[in-house]
C-alpha cells in the first residue's frame, strides 16, 4: 500500500462527517479509546492544549501553535477539516505529517478498523496522537472536531482547555439553544485543569462556571480581562490595540491574519498565554508578538480572509455559520471596493435560510457547491436565496463560479468565496 492507496482506503472505507454529515458522527468516545488502547495510549505521552468553540477555534489553535513554536517548544497541531491535503490535519512545527507514517499507520490498523468500525475522524485522531507520541512533541495543540463532550479528541488530559465562543452551529447534533450547545462545548473542562472562555455571554456563562466548579478548577473569561480598544487593517496585517481592564495598560499586536474577527481570537490567545505562563510554560511576551506576526508562515493556516489575488481582489474565507457570515459582512463593509461579487456554497445540514438572510444584498452572486455528497445543490441554494430577494446565477463547480465572477468583475471590485470549508478548499489557487 502506498500513500495514495492509504488515503483512498480512508476515504472509501470510513464514514466521514465532512462528506456525509450526521451519519458519520459517533456520539461517544468508545471507538477512539479502543483505537488508542491498541496504540498503547499515545494521548498520555505528550502534553496538550485543548481548543473548542463554535467559531475561531481553528485560528486560535494555529495562533497558539505559533506561540509555542516561537518559544522553542516542539509543537504538534491537530485541526480539522483540511482544505486541500489530508496531511494538513496533523503537523509538527508547521510541517505536515510524513506520507510514510500515514501509510504505515493505515496498514498497521486495518484489522482494528474491521473490528472497531471507527469513523474517519476517530481514526484520524488516533493517528495524530500516535504521531505526536512517536515524535516526542513537547506539546500538541488539539482542536475539537464537533461539540466537545463526546468529541473524539476529548480523551486527552490537557494543560489548558480553551473555548472560544458559543454560537448556533450543528444544532441537529448539539442542541437547538445556546445553553444546550454550551453544555456540549463545556464537556472539555476537566478536573483541576484551568479553562479560558474567549467571550462572556450572560446566557451561557453560568454553564461554564458550574462545570468549572464541579471540576474544582478556575474559568477565565478572556474579554473580562482585556479588550480591543482600537485596530487598523490593510492587505498584509491587522494591528490591534489591546487594553488591560485591570490596569488600563495598552499594548499593540501585529497579526498576519487580516480578518477583523481575529481581534476576538487574539484576546483569547493572550489570556491563554498568560495562564500558561503562570503555570510554568516559558512563553515570553516578545515571543508572543513575534509569533502573531508570522502565524501563516509558522503553521500554514489558510482560508481566513485570505487574499489570493488583486485587481480584482479575490478573498477566501471558510465562514459557514451565522456568526461567521456576520463577521464576513462586517469585513466587507470596511474593505475598499467598487462592486461586490460573492461565490457562495453551503452544505445541506446548515440553516441556509437564516445564513442567506445575513448576506449583503448589494452584490452579484454566483451560487455553487463543493463536490461532496453533503453539499447543497446549487440550484436549491439559488432558489432559496431568490425567495429572500438575493439573485444570482448558479454553477455546478466552484472554479466555474469563480471564473464567472472574475470575468464579470472590474479591477477595483471585490470577490469573496465563502459559505463552506469545502467550497474554499476546492478553489484552484493562482500559480
Asked if 208 contacts 176 with a C-beta cutoff of 8 angstroms, the reply is: no
Quick one: cell of 177?
439553544
First to last CA, the chain: 31
pLDDT tier for residue 22 given thresholds of 50, 70 and 90? low
pLDDT at 197: 98
The pLDDT value recorded for residue 169 is: 73
Per domain, the residue ranges of the chain are 3-228+259-299, 306-425
The answer to whether 346 touches 424, Cβ cutoff 8 Å, is: no
Residue 97: count of CB within 10 angstroms of its CB: 22
Distance (Å, whole) CA 400 – CA 415: 14
- Report the top-level CATH class of 306-425: alpha beta
Give the contacts of 280 (CB within 8 A, at least 6 positions apart): none
pLDDT of residue 410 exceeding 70: yes
For domain 3-228+259-299, the CATH class is alpha beta
Residue range 195-213, pLDDT digits in tens: 999 999 999 999 999 999 9
Share of the chain above pLDDT 70, in %: 96
For 127-180, the pLDDT digits (tens) are 999 999 999 999 999 999 999 999 999 999 999 999 999 988 777 778 889 999
H-state helical runs in 215-351: 262-278, 285-292, 295-299, 322-334
Phi (first) and psi of residue 219, to 5 degrees: -115, 130
Give the contacts of 317 (CB within 8 A, at least 6 positions apart).
Answer: 259, 303, 304, 305, 306, 324, 328, 331, 416, 417, 418, 424
How confident is the model at residue 261, as a pLDDT? Answer: 95
Measured CA to CA, the distance from residue 69 to residue 57 in angstroms comes to 18
Q: What is the pLDDT of residues 360-402, one digit of tens each?
A: 999 999 999 999 988 999 999 999 999 999 999 999 999 999 9
Helix (H, G, I), strand (E, B) or coil at 54: coil
Cα dihedral 9, 10, 15, 18 sign:
negative
User: Is residue 21 scored above 60 in pLDDT?
Assistant: no
**pLDDT for 413 beyond 90:** yes
Residue 268 has pLDDT above 60, yes or no: yes
Report the chain's mean pLDDT, rounded to a whole number. Answer: 94
186 exposed, middle or buried (CB, 10 Å; 0-12, 13-18, 19+)? buried
Between the CA of residue 391 and those of 105, 122, 343, 368, 394, what are the distances in Å? 48, 40, 12, 13, 10
**Cα four-point dihedral sign 206, 212, 217, 219:** negative
Asked whether the predicted pLDDT for residue 24 surpasses 60, the reply is no
Q: Give yes or no for residue 49 having a pLDDT over 80.
A: yes
Q: What is the pLDDT of residue 156?
A: 98
Collapsing DSSP to helix, strand or coil, 273 comes out as: helix
For residues 286 and 69, what is the distance between their CA atoms, to the nearest angstrom? 13
Strands 95-96 and 219-221, by their bridges, are unpaired
Q: Please tell me the predicted confidence (pLDDT) of residue 167.
A: 86
Amino acid at each position: 500500500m502506498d500513500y495514495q492507496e492509504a488515503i483512498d482506503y480512508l476515504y472509501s472505507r470510513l464514514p466521514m462527517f465532512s462528506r456525509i454529515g450526521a451519519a458519520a458522527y459517533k456520539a461517544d468516545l468508545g471507538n477512539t479509546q479502543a483505537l488508542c488502547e491498541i496504540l498503547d495510549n499515545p494521548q498520555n505521552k505528550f502534553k496538550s492544549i485543548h481548543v473548542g468553540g463554535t467559531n475561531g477555534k481553528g485560528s486560535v489553535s494555529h495562533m497558539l501553535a505559533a506561540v509555542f513554536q516561537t518559544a522553542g517548544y516542539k509543537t504538534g497541531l491537530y485541526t480539522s477539516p483540511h482544505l486541500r491535503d489530508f496531511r494538513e490535519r496533523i503537523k509538527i512545527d508547521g510541517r505536515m505529517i510524513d506520507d510514510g507514517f500515514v501509510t504505515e499507520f493505515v496498514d498497521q490498523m486495518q484489522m482494528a478498523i474491521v473490528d472497531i468500525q471507527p469513523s474517519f475522524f476517530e481514526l484520524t485522531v488516533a493517528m495524530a496522537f500516535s504521531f505526536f507520541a512517536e515524535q516526542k512533541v513537547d506539546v500538541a495543540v488539539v482542536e475539537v472536531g464537533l461539540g466537545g463532550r463526546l468529541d473524539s479528541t476529548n480523551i486527552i488530559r490537557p494543560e489548558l482547555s480553551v473555548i472560544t465562543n458559543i454560537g448556533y452551529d450543528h444544532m441537529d447534533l448539539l442542541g437547538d439553544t445556546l445553553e444546550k450547545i454550551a453544555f456540549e462545548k463545556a464537556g472539555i473542562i476537566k478536573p483541576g485543569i484551568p479553562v479560558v472562555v474567549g467571550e462572556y455571554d450572560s446566557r451561557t456563562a453560568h454553564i461554564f462556571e458550574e462545570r468549572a466548579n464541579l471540576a474544582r478548577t478556575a474559568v477565565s473569561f478572556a474579554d473580562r480581562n482585556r479588550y480591543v480598544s482600537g485596530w487598523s487593517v490593510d492587505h498584509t496585517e491587522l494591528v490591534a490595540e489591546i487594553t488591560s481592564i485591570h490596569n488600563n495598560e495598552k499594548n499593540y499586536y501585529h497579526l498576519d491574519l487580516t480578518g477583523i474577527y481575529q481581534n476576538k481570537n487574539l484576546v483569547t490567545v493572550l489570556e491563554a498565554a498568560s495562564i500558561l505562563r503562570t503555570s510554568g510554560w516559558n512563553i515570553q511576551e516578545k515571543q508572543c508578538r513575534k509569533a502573531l506576526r508570522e502565524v501563516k508562515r509558522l503553521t500554514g493556516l489558510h482560508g481566513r480572509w485570505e487574499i489570493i489575488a488583486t485587481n480584482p481582489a479575490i478573498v477566501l474565507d471558510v465562514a459557514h455559520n451565522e456568526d461567521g457570515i456576520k463577521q464576513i459582512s462586517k469585513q466587507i463593509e470596511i474593505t475598499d471596493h467598487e462592486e461586490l461579487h460573492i461565490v457562495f456554497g453551503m452544505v445541506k445540514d446548515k440553516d441556509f435560510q437564516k445564513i442567506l438572510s445575513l448576506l449583503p444584498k448589494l452584490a452579484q452572486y454566483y451560487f455553487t457547491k463543493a463536490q461532496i455528497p453533503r453539499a447543497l445543490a446549487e440550484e436549491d441554494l439559488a432558489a432559496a436565496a431568490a425567495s429572500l430577494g438575493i439573485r444570482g446565477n448558479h454553477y455546478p463547480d466552484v472554479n466555474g463560479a469563480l471564473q464567472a465572477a472574475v470575468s464579470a468583475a472590474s479591477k477595483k471590485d471585490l470577490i469573496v468565496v465563502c459559505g463552506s470549508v469545502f467550497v474554499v478548499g476546492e478553489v484552484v489557487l493562482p500559480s
